[in-house]
């Protein structure tokens, strides 16, 4: 039975009612040492629903020290791979058991639809834990027949490589997929045998703290996973500069990613950076306009456009441009908007006042620069950070709205005449996270794929993800990959062992 807030699960309500949340350091639930706190705001009605600790540098020191100890203690450091696998599988089972609770927490904290979060954020998250659990028992090095040219002819050698956990991992994640991003970082780190300090975004920390409870219930040794809350300036910065951190895995803006990358190099911490994007979609002339419009609407309006790989630049062949645009407008205007806990709503509020202001400024800039606004372009007249699905058309893709990442439900549709021109314009961006091509001319599609400078190319779809398929960017969209075996590898060092026999 839903109560007046729309929460249906008693455990969600109990968690929210906690109000003064605590963070998980060394197996204890604690406040920040100086008791500093950050308000938690429900973006659907702009009300304060609790607060989280803002971890200070001393709290970060404590977390790093527990994580380092846990790495060195036998309980985790010498745990057998199959036991690590079983803990990860058990955690996935608990996530599955509490999937609805987690989805509802995302709805009140982030604003997204609980039903969509259940299928996407939580569904993919638990799938990823199961996928990574399998890798825990399959970490392997190689044996090498070596020559050692400087050695005398009668000398014999044996050489092999072994893979070892990189050490203490700092995972810093954004607010757009709070729970899923936590899974993307924690699962490979634990499969590899690392210990973790997770810092969720200050806007959306509830689901990560709930995950901490599940981690405790599973019985991971204390200090293996620490979850500290706080802002970027204080907590994130202290974490990334800490000399005890061996790897930083970050998802967020390119600007912060660049700062983190620089800080990481002072300590030679390994880095994975999954950053911004301005992902193009290219609709070729043979594509069914209905399919293109449906696909483009999904690509830009999913998660209210707050997706690093959102299809935010849509290049459409001029012969079908008007048909695609008019259908897109119909689809955008038909999207039911409302709080994430209203199951009839497909699109909720943006995450925060800051994000709302940022998106509205971009819309204003689009108007001023002369793009044609064909739908949306304003806030929804209700409480909460809602922005109408917005579509501009423009011949010119040098406009700010066609070049910068908006991270909101704002699409720019641009006509093209020639495929090579479309590819050149698609690549003319500092970003290179993803791109999609829409066509059934498969030999042409195959020729275009290598030309696109993007970490992922989707064909006749956009935003498709799978636990086993690596995800990450070219150019300013980042370094390294999340998901897939490549993600696991980035949490491992290679040790070469050389023996004279």
Euclidean distance between CA atoms 384 and 464, whole angstroms = 29
Q: Tell me which of 9, 308, 360, 405 is the catalytic residue.
A: 308
Interface region with ligand ADP, contact rule CB under 6 A, candidates 68-76, 183-191, 249-257, 473-481: 249-257
What are the residues facing 9 on neighbouring strands?
none
Question: What's the sign of the alpha-carbon dihedral 320, 322, 324, 325?
Answer: positive
Q: How far is the CB of 236 from ligand ADP (least distance, A)?
A: 2
Q: Which of 92, 103, 198, 201 binds ligand ADP (CB under 6 A)?
A: 201
CB 234 within 8 A of CB 54: yes
**Can you list the pairs that 207-210 forms with residues at least 24 positions away whose Cβ atoms lie under 8 Å?**
207/102, 207/105, 207/106, 207/109, 207/178, 207/179, 207/182, 208/173, 208/178, 208/179, 208/182, 209/21, 209/22, 209/23, 209/24, 209/52, 210/15, 210/98, 210/101, 210/102, 210/105
Interface region with ligand ADP, contact rule CB under 6 A, candidates 87-95, 169-177, 333-341, 471-479: 169-177
Euclidean distance between CA atoms 10 and 442, whole angstroms = 51
Number of residues that bind ligand ADP (CB under 6 A): 17
User: Rule CB under 6 A: is residue 116 a binding residue for ligand ADP?
Assistant: no
Q: How far is the CB of 234 from ligand ADP (least distance, A)?
A: 9
User: Rule CB under 6 A: is residue 236 a binding residue for ligand ADP?
Assistant: yes
Q: How far is the CB of 303 from ligand ADP (least distance, A)?
A: 13
Q: Which is nearer to ligand ADP, 394 or 463 (CB)?
A: 463
Q: Which is nearer to ligand ADP, 87 or 180 (CB)?
A: 180
Q: Which of 188, 212, 223, 252 binds ligand ADP (CB under 6 A)?
A: 252
Q: Which of 53, 212, 223, 232 binds ligand ADP (CB under 6 A)?
A: 232
User: Rule CB under 6 A: is residue 305 a binding residue for ligand ADP?
Assistant: no
Q: How far is the CB of 22 from ligand ADP (least distance, A)?
A: 18
Q: How far is the CB of 352 from ligand ADP (least distance, A)?
A: 8
Q: Which of 28, 45, 61, 253 binds ligand ADP (CB under 6 A)?
A: 253
Q: Is 183 a catalytic residue?
A: no
Q: Is 274 a catalytic residue?
A: yes
User: Rule CB under 6 A: is residue 267 a binding residue for ligand ADP?
Assistant: no
Q: Which of 59, 202, 397, 482 binds ligand ADP (CB under 6 A)?
A: 202
22 sits in the region (left: phi over 0; alpha: psi -120 to 50; else beta) called beta
What are the residues facing 416 on neighbouring strands?
317
Question: What's the sign of the alpha-carbon dihedral 349, 352, 358, 364?
Answer: positive
CB 189 within 8 A of CB 196: yes
User: Rule CB under 6 A: is residue 110 a binding residue for ligand ADP?
Assistant: no
Q: How far is the CB of 258 from ligand ADP (least distance, A)?
A: 10
CA neighbor of 85 nearest in space, from 165, 121, 141, 139: 139
User: Rule CB under 6 A: is residue 269 a binding residue for ligand ADP?
Assistant: no
Euclidean distance between CA atoms 429 and 14, whole angstroms = 46
Q: Which is nearer to ligand ADP, 5 or 355 (CB)?
A: 355
User: Rule CB under 6 A: is residue 178 a binding residue for ligand ADP?
Assistant: no
Interface region with ligand ADP, contact rule CB under 6 A, candidates 185-193, 227-235, 310-318, 328-336: 227-235
Interface region with ligand ADP, contact rule CB under 6 A, candidates 35-43, 151-159, 233-241, 386-394: 233-241
Q: Which is nearer to ligand ADP, 113 or 249 (CB)?
A: 249
CB atoms within 10 A of CB 102: 28
User: Rule CB under 6 A: is residue 260 a binding residue for ligand ADP?
Assistant: yes
User: Rule CB under 6 A: is residue 89 a binding residue for ligand ADP?
Assistant: no
Structure tokens at 296: 């483009």
Q: Which of 62, 199, 247, 304 binds ligand ADP (CB under 6 A)?
A: 199
Q: How far is the CB of 246 from ligand ADP (least distance, A)?
A: 16
User: Rule CB under 6 A: is residue 13 a binding residue for ligand ADP?
Assistant: no
Q: How far is the CB of 151 from ligand ADP (least distance, A)?
A: 48
What are the residues facing 29 on neighbouring strands?
24
Give the C-alpha distances (Å, rounded to integers) separating 37 from 22, 29, 171, 237.
10, 15, 21, 17
Spatial neighbors of 317 by CB under 8 A, at least 6 apart, are: 283, 284, 285, 287, 415, 416, 417, 422
Structure tokens at 478: 């980042």
Interface region with ligand ADP, contact rule CB under 6 A, candidates 84-92, 94-102, 234-242, 460-468: 234-242
Q: Tell me which of 106, 127, 202, 274 is the catalytic residue.
A: 274
Q: How far is the CB of 81 from ligand ADP (least distance, A)?
A: 31
Give the C-alpha distances (Å, rounded to integers) separating 358 from 107, 333, 350, 353, 407.
21, 22, 10, 8, 9
CB 177 within 8 A of CB 192: no
DSSP track, 353-398: HHHHHHHHHHHHHHHHTTPEEEE--SB-SSSSS-B--EEEE-S-TT
DSSP, collapsed to helix, strand or coil, labels residue 318 as helix
Spatial neighbors of 83 by CB under 8 A, at least 6 apart, are: none
Catalog residues that contact ligand ADP under the rule CB under 6 A. Answer: 172-174, 199, 201-202, 231-233, 236-237, 240, 252-253, 256, 259-260
Q: Catalytic amino acids?
A: 274, 308
């Amino acid at each position: 039975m839903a109560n007046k807030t729309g929460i249906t699960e008693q455990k969600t309500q109990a968690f929210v009612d906690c109000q003064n949340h605590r963070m998980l350091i060394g197996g204890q639930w604690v406040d920040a040492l100086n008791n500093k706190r950050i308000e938690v705001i429900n973006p659907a009605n702009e009300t304060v629903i609790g607060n989280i600790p803002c971890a200070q540098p001393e709290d970060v020191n404590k977390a790093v020290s527990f994580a380092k100890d846990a790495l060195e203690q036998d309980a985790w450091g010498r745990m057998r791979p199959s036991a690590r696998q079983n803990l990860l599988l058990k955690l996935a089972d608990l996530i599955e058991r509490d999937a609805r609770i987690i989805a509802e927490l995302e709805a009140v904290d982030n604003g997204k639809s609980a039903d969509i979060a259940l299928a996407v954020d939580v569904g993919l998250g638990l799938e990823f834990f199961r996928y990574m659990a399998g890798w825990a028992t399959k970490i392997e090095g190689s044996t090498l027949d070596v020559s050692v040219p400087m050695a005398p002819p009668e000398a014999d050698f044996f050489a092999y490589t072994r893979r070892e956990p990189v050490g203490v991992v700092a995972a810093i994640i954004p607010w757009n997929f709070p729970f899923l991003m936590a899974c993307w970082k924690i699962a490979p780190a634990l499969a590899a045998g690392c210990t973790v300090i997770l810092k969720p975004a200050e806007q959306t920390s509830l689901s990560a703290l709930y995950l901490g409870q599940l981690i405790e219930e599973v019985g991971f040794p204390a200090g293996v996973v620490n979850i500290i809350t706080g802002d970027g300036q204080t907590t994130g910065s202290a974490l990334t500069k800490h000399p005890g951190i061996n790897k930083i895995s970050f998802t967020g803006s390119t600007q912060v990613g660049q700062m983190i990358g620089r800080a990481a190099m002072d300590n030679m911490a390994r880095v994975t950076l999954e950053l911004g994007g301005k992902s193009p979609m290219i609709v070729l002339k043979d594509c069914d306009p209905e399919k293109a419009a449906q696909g483009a609407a999904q690509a830009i309006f999913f998660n209210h456009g707050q997706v690093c790989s959102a299809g935010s630049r849509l290049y459409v062949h001029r012969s079908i441009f008007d048909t695609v645009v008019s259908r897109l407008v119909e689809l955008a205007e038909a999207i039911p908007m409302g709080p994430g806990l209203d199951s009839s709503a497909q699109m909720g509020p943006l995450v925060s006042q800051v994000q709302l202001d940022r998106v509205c400024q971009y819309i204003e800039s689009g108007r001023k620069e002369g793009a044609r606004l064909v739908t949306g372009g304003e806030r929804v007249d209700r409480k909460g950070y809602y922005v109408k699905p917005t579509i501009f058309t423009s011949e010119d893709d040098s406009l700010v709205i066609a070049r910068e990442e908006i991270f909101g439900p704002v699409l720019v549709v641009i006509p093209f005449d020639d495929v090579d021109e479309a590819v050149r314009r698609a690549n003319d961006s500092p970003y290179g996270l993803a791109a999609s091509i829409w066509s059934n001319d498969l030999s042409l599609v195959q020729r275009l794929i290598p030309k696109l400078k993007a970490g992922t190319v989707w064909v006749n779809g956009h935003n498709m993800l799978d636990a086993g398929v690596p995800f990450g960017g070219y150019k300013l969209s980042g370094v390294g990959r999340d998901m897939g075996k490549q993600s696991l590898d980035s949490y491992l060092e290679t040790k070469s062992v050389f023996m004279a026999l």
